[in-house]
Chain A
């Protein structure tokens, strides 16, 4: 299947606009992806026609809203090939999912001297929740190092693994430099030592095929907004026996079976972990995003993105003094770079004047920036709706900006 990019672009209303007098070029897809019209329509349709609180009402609207809400759960289950919908916990985002695991699984399973392995590539969202629970429990965090290319050192990982490791928490793909980590192998190794594995899939969900069963993942987290869906929705997948053995997270409505002043019994999966009225509208609209991706061929999307990556890498390499940070052989379409003698922020400010949106700064991975001894980088991250022509315009604007700054 070949993609008709112009037709695809027409599905994303936000792309059709001028910014500072030039057509918008959106290269900040790792921060958040744009939304197809079907998602935007689903959101307004819900509020215009179906708005009701779910799971409790017996009236028609409540019924419709509940059905649509639960349908999204089923679609998510299929999207990541989970064995069953009740293993799909809906949260507010990747960050919410990781905190949930830290505060429930971590609280129940970590004790003094236990180890949590994370990597030098992690987003702050996959560092801080572990630090918080580790501090409380007296557990220790150890870090898998990365090499110059931004590839995890698997030898070091093997050496760090032993029976005191209770959990390995790593990202599938690095948000700052795009490295795809060999999670299948890492999970297998962790399991040999009895450790569970939490995969932060924030950056892989839109760019790689995910099969949580084939990969034997214990916990998998991602955000809908990085998969062309709305903000404020996240997913936590967990293996059934783990989710069942974990204590609840927040208390409130939805998550209970029976409440009395003598004690409370908790609801079953997934509701045990979904206290309070959830983000109904955005969950329902997320369904349209999954449909959108499913209707195109995932393989064709990924092929387009990798072609963009290859082309952009080649074009950027022709700029003297420009250094690409993150040169792993396995990458998604993210390019981080720095320019000799120029602060990333200056490039970001000028590119914006050309209507080009990139990200500059530390990308919420300060320990990784420290590893590369950089204050930050410029990051261009692509999605399938980006074009080769946009890359040409970007490189031209970048050369012009560099000239202005040198």
Chain B
């Protein structure tokens, strides 16, 4: 059985807990961003763009069996690092699990001020969009 959304969040909190220095945290995030595979160009459509971000962010979702699989990309690497974490937490779960998910891990990084509150990085829009996909798939 795959890891639960909560377990993945705990795992991320632990990973980030290893760094006390903001620069190390950001370097790790940048690294995650660089490692996340790019979205293929045919998925970088206007429809897949998430509004409300200063850099362009694309999100694609697909249903495989009863699970939803997310792929995403951004022009900005720090945002891409954030996306990478969201995908790790939410991808490969059922629509119901995604809709119910309480994403508390962001607040625990000591980075939440940047990650959650500024509208321009679009993290909140991204979470909302992922949940919308889940809702749409569950209605089908």
Contacts and interface: CB of A to CB of B under 8 A. Distances in A.
Interface of A: 20, 342-343, 345-346, 349-350, 352-353, 360-361, 375-376, 404-405
A398 to B, nearest CB: 14
Interface in B1-49: 22-23, 26-27, 30
B56 A361 contact: no
B128 interface: no
**Secondary structure call for the B interface:** helix
Q: 7 closest A-B pairs (Cβ-Cβ)?
A: A343-B76, A345-B76, A345-B55, A343-B75, A345-B54, A346-B76, A346-B78
Given A349-B121, A375-B56, A20 B75 contact: no
Contacts of A352: 114
Contacts of B30: 346, 404-405
A66 B87 CA distance: 60
Interface of B: 22-23, 26-27, 30, 54-56, 75-79, 114, 120-121
A343 B23 contact: no
A376 B53 CA distance: 13
Given A352-B114, A376-B54, 16 more contacts: A343-B55, A343-B75, A343-B77, A345-B55, A345-B76, A345-B120, A346-B30, A346-B77, A346-B79, A349-B78, A353-B26, A375-B55, A375-B56, A375-B75, A404-B27, A405-B30
Contact of B120 (A350, A353, A361, A404): A361
Most buried by A among B75, B76, B79: B76
Given A345-B121, A375-B55, A376-B54, A353 B75 contact: no
Nearest to A361: B54
A349 B113 CA distance: 11
Contacts of B79: 345-346
